[in-house]
Amino acid sequence: MNPSFPLALTIITGIWLSGCELVLAPAMLLSAPAPSGAKQGYESETVIKSNDLLSIRTIAILEIPEPPNYGRDIGFATENAEYEGLSFGNTAQTYLNQYLNKYGFDVIECSPIRVEEHRLMVDYAYLDIKGADAYLDVVPIEVEYKFRFGKNGPHVSTSFRLVSAVSNEEIYTGSIQYGWKDLGVRSAGVKIESPEDHKYESSEALLANKKEATEWLVQGIEAVSLSIGKSIVEGKFEGMAAKELDTKSYDENLWAKALKEAEGNEKKQKIKYIELRTGQLYSENVSSVSAPTICEKSITISERLSLQQAGVYDFSGIYSSTLTGINAQSILGINPVVKLTQKGKKVSGTFGTTGGHFWGEIEDGSIKFEYRTSGGGSGSGKWTVEPNSGELFGKWDSTTWQGSGKWNLKRIE
């Protein structure tokens, strides 16, 4: 599947956890660098343990992080800094959810604490995700346009690990790379070549075709994501076919066909049967795609806020708000609706109907933020969580006009 550009820009999925909306942001081209940290290296591919996949029904996809940065061309990244919506994590997670769910797996989405933000997890033993049979950990290595011989081409690479939730043993590990073959696709991991004409003759040409370049980059994210999903699905189907042979419950007609296609070679007959049966299982197990569920925890809202500081829980959602104080109406409007979006410790959002917005981060159990109104007013504030209530209580202050007061939020969606 090659997504159209509108799809590439509008991969937005609303998923609710106890009234919390997890927003998968639009996929755009480039953004300002993400927080620094050790970059994920390439993992050597292991042979997938098909027998271990036989008992896997539900896969918990661990929240996929963003790469340490998007691209090496600092000028290009700076010029396109307004495209803050590019998200390898959200885009890859969407494609993986859809593919795995389509071929019979149930999917759970969870946000674990990562010791190193941009690397595969070191220890999965502490995870206790109810209902999960396996954990799928995916981390990007590079998401960028590579420059070589005067030309620019898309490059997307990632490492992954599938781990049993019962034994915490690895079932499958590897790396996948997508890109133009002359622009640095390395020897490690699976190689997926981008179309030959997906290249620009200069940085100027790249900058002049940002929409097209976005589509090409998202196609790379799609390619590596579906490659991971396909390997897992095929691994399970191959295991099912092999089990049929071991238990002598195989399809006799297909067994005869396998012998014919193996040209009477009985040693190759088993391999051919597994190949043919895997193809059948693809068609037999296809299902309609449904939204993944979110792992649930029985904890208080104050405990959630504490955990969110480590990047575990999301307080994104839509809130009604109550304002008090001098100039509250003229600066912020009358009881404006607030939409809050959170990623890690960072928060951002909008309020009212005229374009007011705010941004900030969670710190010391509170959400500290700054805001700007459509009329140019600005200020700051802080929200705290009332234990067990689910409401945010806080205050606001203006730095441009006289005014201050209370600003309390109550979730409505």
What is the band of 51 on the pLDDT scale with cuts at 50, 70, 90?
very high
Q: Looking at the structure, do residues 158 and 227 belong to the same domain, yes or no?
A: yes
Q: Work out how many domains the chain is built from and give that number.
A: 3
- Residue 346: which CATH number? 2.40.128.120
pTM over 0.75? The answer is: no
Tell me: do 371 and 402 sit in the same domain.
yes
Q: What's the pLDDT score for residue 290?
A: 66
183 pLDDT above the threshold of 70: no
Residue 294 within a domain:
no
Q: Which pLDDT tens digit goes with each residue over 295-324?
A: 654 334 444 455 455 554 567 778 888 878
Asked whether residue 48 is assigned to any structural domain, the reply reads yes
Residue 207 has pLDDT above 50, yes or no: yes
Q: Are residues 342 and 365 both part of a single domain?
A: yes
Residue 20 placed within a domain: yes
Is 86 part of a structural domain of the chain? yes
226 and 126: one domain? yes
Of all residues in the chain, what percent carry a pLDDT higher than 70?
70
> Would 331 be classed as within a structural domain?
yes
Clarify whether residues 306 and 352 are in a common domain. yes
- Are 189 and 245 found together in one domain? no
As a whole number, the mean pLDDT across the chain is: 75
Least Cα distance to 336 among 353, 349, 324 occurs for: 353
- Are 326 and 220 within one domain? no
Residue 291 is assigned to a structural domain of this protein: no
**pLDDT at residue number 256:** 94
- Shared domain for 100 and 149, answered yes or no, is yes
Confidence bin at 253 (pLDDT 50/70/90): very high
If asked whether residues 174 and 227 sit together in one domain, one would say yes
pLDDT at residue 247 greater than cutoff 80: yes
State which residues form the domain around 253.
240-285
Tell me, what's the pLDDT at 235? 94
167-171 — which CB contacts under 8 Å span 24+ positions? 168/124, 168/125, 169/52, 170/46, 171/48, 171/49, 171/52, 171/53, 171/56, 171/134
Same domain, 252 and 213: no
Q: Is residue 292 part of a domain?
A: no
pLDDT for position 173: 94
Average pLDDT of the segment spanning 5-12: 34
Q: In this structure, what CATH number is given to the domain that contains residue 40?
A: 3.30.160.150
Rounded distance between C-alpha atoms, residue 55 and residue 168, angstroms = 14
132: in domain: yes
Confidence band, pLDDT 50/70/90 cuts, at residue 122 = confident
Residue 217, pLDDT above cutoff 60: yes
Write a three-state SS string for the chain.
CCCCHHHHHCCCCEEEECCEEEECCCCCCCCCCCCCCCCCCCCCCCCCCHHHHCCCCEEEEECCCCCCCCCCCHHHHHHCCCCCCCCHHHHHHHHHHHHHHHCCCEEEEECCCCCCCCCCCCCCCCCCCCCCCEEEEEEEEEEEEEEECCEEEEEEEEEEEEEECCCCCEEEEEEEEEECCCCCCCCCCEEEECCCCCCECCHHHHHHCHHHHHHHHHHHHHHHHHHHHHHHHHHHHHHHHHHHHHCCCCCHHHHHHHHHHCCCCHHHHHHHHHHHHHHHHHHHHCCCCCCCEECCCCCCHHHHHHHHCCCCCCCCEEEEEEECCCCHHHHHCCCCCEEEEEECCEEEEEECCCCEEEEEEEECCEEEEEEECCCCCEEEEEEEECCCCCEEEEEEEECCCCCEEEEEEEECC
> Do 60 and 190 fall into the same domain?
yes
Q: Are residues 263 and 158 in the same domain?
A: no
